[in-house]
Chain A
């Protein structure tokens, strides 16, 4: 083998090695890949909440009756405790029907720490007839705060920040009181329905506004249960991911977002 041939073989081996390494590392960008829009929005919301000091907690999607209902003082004969409304599993377990149960877990773990700001999120499941407004599996991100200054002002400021970041500064949130068993006062945040321009459609049920966030100040009895000091307040605010996407896209239906590809192919 002469020197030139040996050099050529060595060059080939090096080229093959580099090709294999490049292939394995996959540093080259392939634009055909895409995130799921709901998961991507959860990422964005999570980043936003991180900038406001909320630490992310990963909590179970398979939850239990105690965290979901008992801790929130939902009466034992409330219909939502039955399989007609919630996906119950044997042994007191269930598929999480709202992320407030996850907030309870996070706050219980942080009891005694004083001021706390946490965020949780993911899929929730409810038995319902799928419609433009409601689906059986949907996604929420929920932020919660504990502290002496964790009042409505803090909650309202975050609601406006979320609206500004996720839907643009031209969005005009409308706040109203909302009744929930575990908060007082409870609030809901509505935004103008972009699908119908406020004229009324299936998504907003003719109201012209769509509720995208809800929450409130936890009742004192619940604050006692999760070990928050008497001087501290606590609130939570849940954000509906699919509804925000529907408002962003001007789509009068949230069902495409809960399909496997998040409505990209539709």
Chain B
């Protein structure tokens, strides 16, 4: 894994390029861009917080989590209540590394205790140096109108912060991650220009020795001669400053800090003591004595120094460490005399058990315990068989990800390969939808579409106006969940759409306990003549009445709600309560806008049927229409005495979704047995595609199996 700040790339180019371009070029070079993250003020996880405490009290912040938390702070002066400051959430990338509060070369966390006494890592209050290159060590105060919870970048100039691309180098693509090569590629493609050639360096050839570091992967190089007394070029220095790396006391310090930032590994250097070198790695939480397995050359005779890089085995491989050292050597312009690399030895292996039967239940594969042992051994996992089904497994301490039987199974799957696991379909009966109002929604949608209406899906989140309910406002933004689908539809209705009008079935916020309601909204231009006469609601209204009755039943009532300067409103009532409203808007030119909103049921918490909310609406019956040709298959059967032809037809209709229709087309009485043979014609059809012969054949095989289970005889 490597990180490339955008400013590093742009510092090598005459004109800056956008992060999207770099992302694209990296992709075309075969480099996997895992993510593009903002750094400092550009980071989405650095958000606006609001000070709630008074000066002199412990600092209490409103941060965009469901509860308020107190943030301990080393700030000398607690800002005034209501001040807006920047808060780095966990995972945020900030410019500076601040002593013991950091985890790795970037990112800030701080443990805080909530009112319930629970320790929570929420983040920390940022100073300007966290947010921008060359920032001051003072609290970053944001504008008064900034919205708590919103990313701070929305409220700061673009010059604050940077973008960082996290990239993964595939095997064989070693150099593509380097900033210089990337810049060169951008120049070569004509995307950016550069007046001078991009500097390059030759790879040093590492030697070969072994370092044994328990639990850690590490590498080191021995470099003969004194440390280089060089100046860091201004281009490099600017790149370093842009990501919060301060000018070091020497070029070596500064470049090691830059390498640590880019790779996420830890770097160290020391003078060689001569003889058999012993390297001490001092991390934030441990001190490890490293013994070099082989004695080095007579470095006591010459001045030399050692650069070491290390990281947890689960994060860094030997290749990562070696590559990082090569990069440092390039930057410093030095050639290593010797190098070491290695992976830490196992300490305190964990013992777990794994049952072959459990593995079979999860994966569907029936291996024996011996087979599983064979798979796990190459991973350094020692296996002892406790019988045909069970085994004891000793997991090396470096595999902290394997903690129980589940993760052991996952490791086996990883080593076998998912593609080798068999797909074993559990054959289940086709189900009918239980959610009645969902079926009604579907039927209404199809009816409207067939009548020329165009379906839309408009945004659920809208700008919050003054009338928006407090409970519907999104935390940290000036947005709210919509309480009607009509505004969005009216905006879209002005654009070219189906001549029949536009509609949407969607969720809206409601102030009652359910918080959410499904509604149907319609907007259509209608013939003004009947409306102008005040005698008939027009064809749009008639269709609306049909739809409303489909949902709410025949007892639907229309009532005059009010008349205002915008037109006439009519209320829809069912079961003694309002379920919607319809408005014929003011005449514009030769048309009148019809807007309507009709309530469906509220979704129940568990998705169970909510038929009661549907009123007594008759079941909508909509024949499926498909523009793709149907396949017809005849099935001649003799039914058992306890199954009627009508019952069998219903079963056949429900057997597969591709069965669009079943009709009885022929009957014949066998003169010998006097039993009746019935021929049903099945129409196989999909709204979305044509049915190939092979699929129809497979479907008929499944139907035959089902008939066999029902005791139905099929004539071949």
Contact = CB atoms under 8 A, between A and B. Distances in A.
Interface of A: 23-26, 29-36, 38-40, 43-44, 46-48, 50-62, 65, 76-79, 81-85, 87-93, 95, 102, 105-106, 108-110, 117-118, 120, 123, 125, 127, 129, 136-137, 145, 147-154, 156-161, 174-177, 184-185, 187, 199-202, 205-207, 217, 219-220, 233, 258, 260-262, 265
Contacts of A109: 605-608
A175 B450 CA distance: 40
Contacts of A117: 428, 431
Interface stretch (B254-262, B318-326, B441-449, B640-648): B441-449
A95 B435 contact: no
Interface in B381-422: 404, 406-407, 409-410, 413-414, 418-419, 421-422
Interface in B1-57: 20, 23-24, 26-28, 30-33, 44-45, 47
Contact of B455 (A35, A54, A85): A35
B516 A60 contact: yes
Contacts of B604: 58
Given A26-B543, A32-B454, A206-B26, 15 more contacts: A35-B455, A46-B433, A55-B433, A56-B434, A61-B516, A90-B471, A109-B605, A123-B507, A136-B461, A154-B425, A156-B418, A156-B421, A156-B422, A220-B404, A233-B362
A206 B30 CA distance: 7
A91 B365 CA distance: 46
Nearest to B695: A169
A125 B488 CA distance: 17
B45 A84 contact: yes
Interface stretch (B179-187, B489-497, B670-678): B489-497
Nearest to A65: B66
B499 interface: yes
Contact of A184 (B363, B364, B406): B406
Nearest to B63: A82
A105 B424 contact: no
Contacts of B515: 60, 62, 93
Contact of A79 (B66, B90, B447): B90
Contacts of B44: 84-85, 127, 129
21 contacts: A33-B451, A33-B452, A34-B449, A43-B442, A44-B687, A50-B657, A51-B430, A58-B607, A62-B516, A82-B64, A95-B461, A105-B607, A123-B460, A136-B461, A149-B361, A149-B424, A151-B364, A157-B423, A184-B409, A206-B30, A262-B457
A95 B471 contact: no
Interface size, B (range): 35 or more
A111 B552 CA distance: 32
B565 to A, nearest CB: 28
A151 B27 contact: no
A208 to B, nearest CB: 9
B413 A39 contact: no
Contact of B438 (A29, A56, A151, A265): A56
Interface centre among B91, B431, B434, B604, by most chain A C-beta atoms within 10 angstroms, is: B431
A30 B437 contact: no
Given A44-B687, A151-B363, A26 B451 contact: yes
B289 interface: no
Interface of B is mostly: loop
B426 A89 contact: no
Interface stretch (B114-122, B302-310, B337-345, B372-380): B114-122
Contacts of A175: 418-419
Interface in B680-699: 686-688
A61 B414 CA distance: 35
Given A87-B474, A88-B476, A33 B449 contact: yes
Given A55-B434, A90-B471, A153 B543 contact: no
Contacts of B516: 60-62
A77 B121 contact: yes
Given A34-B454, A184-B406, A56 B481 contact: no
B155 interface: no
- Top 5 closest pairs, chain A to chain B, by CB: A206-B27, A53-B428, A57-B607, A153-B364, A30-B452
Contacts of A25: 546
A153 B424 contact: yes
Nearest to A102: B607
B542 interface: yes
B291 interface: no
A160 B442 contact: no
Contacts of B312: none
A44 B688 contact: yes
A26 B427 CA distance: 40
A60 B656 CA distance: 28
A92 B66 CA distance: 6
A206 B47 CA distance: 31
Contacts of B424: 149, 151, 153-154, 156-157
Contacts of A52: 425, 428, 430
B473 A260 contact: no
A200 B495 CA distance: 34
Nearest to B27: A206
